[in-house]
Chain A
Amino acid sequence: MVMPLDTTIDAAKKGSADLLILALVEDEPLHGYEIAGRIERGSDGTLRFTLASLYATLYRLEERDLVRGRWIERAGQRRRRCYRITDKGRKALAAQRDDWRRFIAALTNIAGLRPA
């Protein structure tokens, strides 16, 4: 992560990476490029992963059995490794969402922030 980012966002990004990826693959299986693209677009470029950190996170989630990756090959398309959330991942996601909700509520109340 060599992007010259603000330290606050940098730290938040680290902590939120799991949440973001789990949330993205919650409804449909996605491959790495799609995930990276959705994060970048969804955050207007504020949140961006390097290739290495994206895949490191994906692999870590997979090792913890929160997502499962499978090579998928379709006619006329390149093979892609797609990631899908597991049951364990759903539980972890729910827990993280709760945490973040409380965290943001706390920030809102104390630091006088307002959700954009």
Chain B
Amino acid sequence: MTRRFDWQADIRAHASRTDVDLTDATVVEIAEHLEDIYTGAMRDGCTESEARARARTALEESTMDVLRRARVATPSGQAMAEAVAYTSGGTSLNLSGALRLAVRQLRMHPGFAAVTVLVLALGVGASTTVFTVVDSVLLRPLPYQDPERLVTLWDVNARRGLDHQTLSPVNFMDYRELEEFEGAAAWWRPSFNLVDPGLDPMRVNAIEVSGNLFDILGVRPQLGEGFPVGGPFFVFQDPMVVISDRLWRTRYGADRAIVGRILQFNGRPHAVSGVMPAGFHYPDDVDVWERLNWDLHFHSRAAHFMESVVRLEKGTTLQQASAAANTLAGRLAREFSQTNRGWSVMLVPLLDEQLGYYRPALFVLVGAVALVLVIGCLNVASLLLTRALSREREIAVRIAMGASLRQLVAQLLAESLVLSSAGAFLGVLMSYVALPALVSLAPARIPRLDQAHIDLRAMAVAIAIAAITTVIFGLVPALVLVRRKASADLRSGERGSTRGPRRAYSVIVAGQVALACALLVSSALLIRTVINMVSTPIGVDGDEVVTTSVQVLSNDGRGPVSPQTWRKIADSHELILQDVRQRAGVFAAGATSHLPVDLGWRLPFEVEGDDVPVRADDRRIAQYQMISDGYFETMHAPIAAGRSFSAFDTADAPPVAVVNETFATRYLAGRPALGRVVVSTVRYIGPSVFNLMAPGAPDQAPLPRGFEVVGVVKDIRNTPLGQPIEPTVYFSSQQFPVGELLYTIRASSPSSAIAALRAALAKTAPTVPIGIVRTWGDRMATRSAQPRLLMLLLIFFGAAAALLAALGVYGLFSWSVAQRTRELAIRLTLGARPVGVGAGVVRQSLVLVTIGLIAGLAIVRLSEAALTRVLFEMSPHDPGSLAAAGALLVVVALAACVPPALRALRVDPVEGLRTE
């Protein structure tokens, strides 16, 4: 339609005379009206000039003041019009109306709404899940009476680097008398074979424990009396056991007549006096509690093999109790310097003891999830900030229309509420999915993780954080605009300066980058840790070797065992092993008292020809390990010099020993190792090991006996990963027999190894059960399971953080380019090259990311203490990890600013200048 007159110009000119700024839509609408008047007049027969005058008059007689309540009728302005309608529709605060309107508003901006809700959901979901785990594992009280008064007791010998050693029973009896202790229970871990007629023999996890254990923990059996309340600490006669709910159900079909029944443990009858409640397996995975049947006073102060739990007196602090116990330890060290010098004692709260590695790990995790939550909140903050900035005009219009501050606040609040409730709802949904997945994915048995249920408090905290973030960041920037705009009117199409908001936005994004950097560095460190653990040389090559424990007992069970019986035990092991080796599919078989990575017994020794130290404390210590012939061969442990044990190294042959390389270089340096003699005065190691070669009667102190070194084996790791390998003497298990040996069988397949062992046992020792069967590779995998789990979680959080940070960078630069379209257009018009304009965007993002990275590294430095405790053979300053994390973040951030940079490149100078 062609027009003869530019009505729009007339209208604008007329409006500007009365200082009114009309919206385009209103101008268009009135222009059409004037055109209608004009054409109507022409139809009525007016001349062109008369018709025009008529339209002009209609315009002139209008005072445009009444149209100051302008409104936008473009589609995107529809939602705003509704908002305007609401806020100017009265003074009441209609909540449901506000909420409805908020939903409609957000529907007009689906991208903004979706991203905000997703980010909030991620924050709420992740933090609820992790907090639930931390709460159920770390914070929730143990299921015992007054658990905060329960502590465990450990011996410490700083000089020997023993920081967590089991107790001597005799020392324990002294500690027990401390008045700071309300009571103390102690136990050790014998190996129990359970034999019932008609059932397979089985190995059970058992402790022989003082009669007061259940009193101290404050837990009673679900069935039967258990050990009598307030009963004796130990009883020589009447062997008695309490069994677990698990054993009762799986082996005895939950038969209530179990109480009073006699069970055969290690061939000795024990009366069942109770069944503990389901889930009770204190101290770790125990199924049988045998009442202590010997006096702990009658043992050696040098033998460390007891564990203990103590209930502190009411009102006694851990520090007071520690001080008292160490004063006592100091006195014992003076009085019994032969055995106690250098030893002190350490009290560890029961919960800390049970958590071990997981305590620092969980704190790292909480830190990680807190970072993700903060990044998420910052992200939402920046989203809301840009949204507020883009609403400048809308807010100005509302104020111009007379909206009260109260109404504006109510409306903004409603929008924040809608966003945060949607985010919270989705987040809670996420954690209901994530928690069971996490529990089932956990590669290691984390104490109490199986009891984790979504915690309403955790959820409430997360939702509150999300809500507060959205409200603060949704409301505050908008209100700042309100104040700024309250005085100005909406005449100007120019936007105000964006420098202030842009700076705030940049700080927020740099903060996100910093936190993401901290998380990524932690993930990288954990990845390296796991790699270090997995690649630590162990000294054996036996991933497919099957391992299991076999305990051989003489028929008369426990009690003083004669040397003849020990000989029989040694012979039985040898017989079983020989039988296994002959079975089909078996390549090699052997046995050891300790598998690699486990600590052997640390005991004193001498080397013949060296000076013997005057003081007993100065005697040198090495690990004692007993192995059968064929063990090194089965595990593919190379012999560096000499030979390994043979079937002929029996109790009737000359005493021989094999040492590891560390031992040879440390104690046998200077002269050839082979032919040297290692002297031992050890006769017993607890009740489980006996030195058949020690001369003299079994109940007297042994005379020194030399073992000739016949071989040197290349180091096999004999300490936990991360600790230096210790000198070790290997003795022949025929000369120095052990009741329970760990069998190692290399065969064509694990199943044929097990079949061979079962067949051999059925033939030579039908009542002997086999323990848990696992390949050596499996056992090693569980060693790194804890850091692996932590690594997986941190990778997840690191990825989430990087993604959020990238989103932040993208948001910032998209917004910034959009805001600066006009400026960029001017620069392009003035001859700037498009590439230069795009590079400017990239350069700015690089500066921002660099600042973020530096701040992130500072955060890593602050959290060093926690990190160091979960790392393995590396420092938190590992340059490789820092570089990898930094590089990843730079790449991601640059990728995120590519689309905005491209958009800047494509700015059309003409179009750009036309934009407001």
State in angstroms the CA–CA spacing of A28 and B755 once bound together: 93
**Contact across chains for A55 and B37 when beta carbons are under 8 A apart:** no
Q: A32-B29, A50-B61, A55-B30 are in contact. Are A71 and B73 (CB under 8 A)?
A: yes
Kindly provide the distance from the CB of B330 to the nearest chain A CB, expressed in whole angstroms: 86
**Contact across chains for B85 and A65 when beta carbons are under 8 A apart:** yes
**Contact across chains for A69 and B73 when beta carbons are under 8 A apart:** yes
Kindly provide the distance from the CB of A82 to the nearest chain B CB, expressed in whole angstroms: 10
Q: For chain A residues 23-58, which have a beta carbon within 8 Å of chain B?
A: 31-33, 36-37, 50-53, 55-56
**Contact across chains for B66 and A56 when beta carbons are under 8 A apart:** yes
**Contact across chains for B81 and A63 when beta carbons are under 8 A apart:** yes
Kindly provide the distance from the CB of B454 to the nearest chain A CB, expressed in whole angstroms: 43
Q: A33-B36, A63-B89, A78-B35 are in contact. Are A53 and B62 (CB under 8 A)?
A: yes
Q: Which residues of B have CB within 8 Å of A33?
A: 32-33, 36-37, 40
Q: Is B71 an interface residue, CB under 8 A from the partner? A: yes
Q: Is B901 an interface residue, CB under 8 A from the partner? A: no
Kindly provide the distance from the CB of A70 to the nearest chain B CB, expressed in whole angstroms: 9
Across the interface, B33 reaches (CB within 8 A) one of A3, A32, A65, namely A32
State in angstroms the CA–CA spacing of A63 and B29 once bound together: 17
**Contact across chains for A53 and B66 when beta carbons are under 8 A apart:** yes
Residue of A nearest to B401 (CB): A63
What class of interface size applies to chain B in its complex with A?
Answer: 20 to 34
Q: Which residues of A have CB within 8 Å of B81?
A: 62-63
Q: Which residues of B have CB within 8 Å of A64?
A: 85, 89
**Contact across chains for B66 and A78 when beta carbons are under 8 A apart:** no
| Contact indicator per residue, chain A 78-100, by CB within 8 Å of chain B (1) or not (0) | 11110000000000000000000
Residue of B nearest to A1 (CB): B63
Residue of A nearest to B30 (CB): A51
State in angstroms the CA–CA spacing of A19 and B35 once bound together: 26
**Contact across chains for B85 and A63 when beta carbons are under 8 A apart:** yes
State in angstroms the CA–CA spacing of A69 and B78 once bound together: 11
Q: Is B64 an interface residue, CB under 8 A from the partner? A: yes
Q: A32-B33, A78-B32, A81-B73 are in contact. Are A55 and B67 (CB under 8 A)?
A: yes
Across the interface, B58 reaches (CB within 8 A) one of A50, A59, A63, namely A50
Residue of A nearest to B64 (CB): A52
Q: Is A2 an interface residue, CB under 8 A from the partner? A: yes
Q: Which residues of A have CB within 8 Å of B257?
A: none
Kindly provide the distance from the CB of A22 to the nearest chain B CB, expressed in whole angstroms: 16
Q: Which residues of B have CB within 8 Å of A32?
A: 29-30, 32-33
Kindly provide the distance from the CB of B16 to the nearest chain A CB, expressed in whole angstroms: 14
**Contact across chains for B62 and A59 when beta carbons are under 8 A apart:** no
| Contact indicator per residue, chain B 152-169, by CB within 8 Å of chain A (1) or not (0) | 000000000000000000
Q: Which residues of A have CB within 8 Å of B102?
A: none
Q: Which residues of B have CB within 8 Å of A53?
A: 62, 66
**Contact across chains for B85 and A52 when beta carbons are under 8 A apart:** no
Kindly provide the distance from the CB of A103 to the nearest chain B CB, expressed in whole angstroms: 24
Q: Is B548 an interface residue, CB under 8 A from the partner? A: no
Across the interface, B61 reaches (CB within 8 A) one of A2, A60, A78, A79, namely A2
Q: Which residues of A have CB within 8 Å of B59?
A: 51
Kindly provide the distance from the CB of B750 to the nearest chain A CB, expressed in whole angstroms: 77
Kindly provide the distance from the CB of B1 to the nearest chain A CB, expressed in whole angstroms: 5
| Contact indicator per residue, chain B 53-89, by CB within 8 Å of chain A (1) or not (0) | 0000011011111110101010000000100110011
Q: Is B26 an interface residue, CB under 8 A from the partner? A: yes
State in angstroms the CA–CA spacing of A55 and B62 once bound together: 10
Kindly provide the distance from the CB of B495 to the nearest chain A CB, expressed in whole angstroms: 25
Kindly provide the distance from the CB of A80 to the nearest chain B CB, expressed in whole angstroms: 6
**Contact across chains for B71 and A63 when beta carbons are under 8 A apart:** yes
Kindly provide the distance from the CB of A16 to the nearest chain B CB, expressed in whole angstroms: 17
**Contact across chains for A63 and B84 when beta carbons are under 8 A apart:** yes
Q: Which residues of A have CB within 8 Å of B89?
A: 63-64
Residue of A nearest to B26 (CB): A55
Q: Which residues of B have CB within 8 Å of A50?
A: 58, 61-63
Residue of B nearest to A60 (CB): B69
**Contact across chains for B63 and A2 when beta carbons are under 8 A apart:** yes
Q: Which residues of A have CB within 8 Å of B1?
A: 78
State in angstroms the CA–CA spacing of A8 and B69 once bound together: 26
Q: Which residues of A have CB within 8 Å of B66?
A: 52-53, 56
Q: Which residues of B have CB within 8 Å of A79?
A: 32
Residue of B nearest to A49 (CB): B62
Kindly provide the distance from the CB of A47 to the nearest chain B CB, expressed in whole angstroms: 15
**Contact across chains for B29 and A52 when beta carbons are under 8 A apart:** no
State in angstroms the CA–CA spacing of A64 and B88 once bound together: 9
State in angstroms the CA–CA spacing of A70 and B35 once bound together: 19
Kindly provide the distance from the CB of A65 to the nearest chain B CB, expressed in whole angstroms: 6
Q: Which residues of B have CB within 8 Å of A60?
A: 69
Q: For chain B residues 13-33, which have a beta carbon within 8 Å of chain A?
A: 25-26, 29-30, 32-33
**Contact across chains for B62 and A52 when beta carbons are under 8 A apart:** yes
State in angstroms the CA–CA spacing of A23 and B110 once bound together: 38
Kindly provide the distance from the CB of A107 to the nearest chain B CB, expressed in whole angstroms: 28
**Contact across chains for A59 and B33 when beta carbons are under 8 A apart:** no
**Contact across chains for B71 and A59 when beta carbons are under 8 A apart:** yes
Kindly provide the distance from the CB of B332 to the nearest chain A CB, expressed in whole angstroms: 89
Instruction: Name the residue in B35, B36, B89 with the highest tally of chain A Cβ atoms < 10 Å from its Cβ.
Output: B36
Kindly provide the distance from the CB of B481 to the nearest chain A CB, expressed in whole angstroms: 22
Instruction: Name the residue in B1, B63, B64, B66 with the highest tally of chain A Cβ atoms < 10 Å from its Cβ.
Output: B66
Q: Which residues of A have CB within 8 Å of B84?
A: 63
Q: Which residues of A have CB within 8 Å of B71?
A: 59, 62-63
Kindly provide the distance from the CB of A95 to the nearest chain B CB, expressed in whole angstroms: 16
State in angstroms the CA–CA spacing of A81 and B844 once bound together: 46
State in angstroms the CA–CA spacing of A63 and B77 once bound together: 13
Kindly provide the distance from the CB of A72 to the nearest chain B CB, expressed in whole angstroms: 11
Kindly provide the distance from the CB of A53 to the nearest chain B CB, expressed in whole angstroms: 6
Q: A51-B58, A63-B71, A64-B85 are in contact. Are A81 and B65 (CB under 8 A)?
A: no
**Sample of 19 further A-B pairs with CB below 8 A, known A33-B32, A64-B89:** A2-B61, A31-B32, A33-B33, A33-B37, A37-B40, A50-B58, A50-B61, A51-B34, A51-B61, A52-B65, A56-B66, A59-B26, A59-B69, A60-B69, A62-B71, A62-B81, A63-B89, A71-B73, A81-B73
Give me the 6 closest cross-chain CB pairs, A-B, nearest first: A52-B62, A33-B36, A56-B66, A63-B85, A50-B62, A51-B62
* Selected A-B contacts with CB under 8 Å, 19 pairs: A31-B32, A32-B29, A32-B30, A32-B32, A33-B33, A33-B40, A50-B58, A50-B61, A50-B63, A51-B30, A51-B33, A51-B34, A56-B66, A62-B71, A62-B85, A63-B88, A64-B85, A65-B85, A78-B35
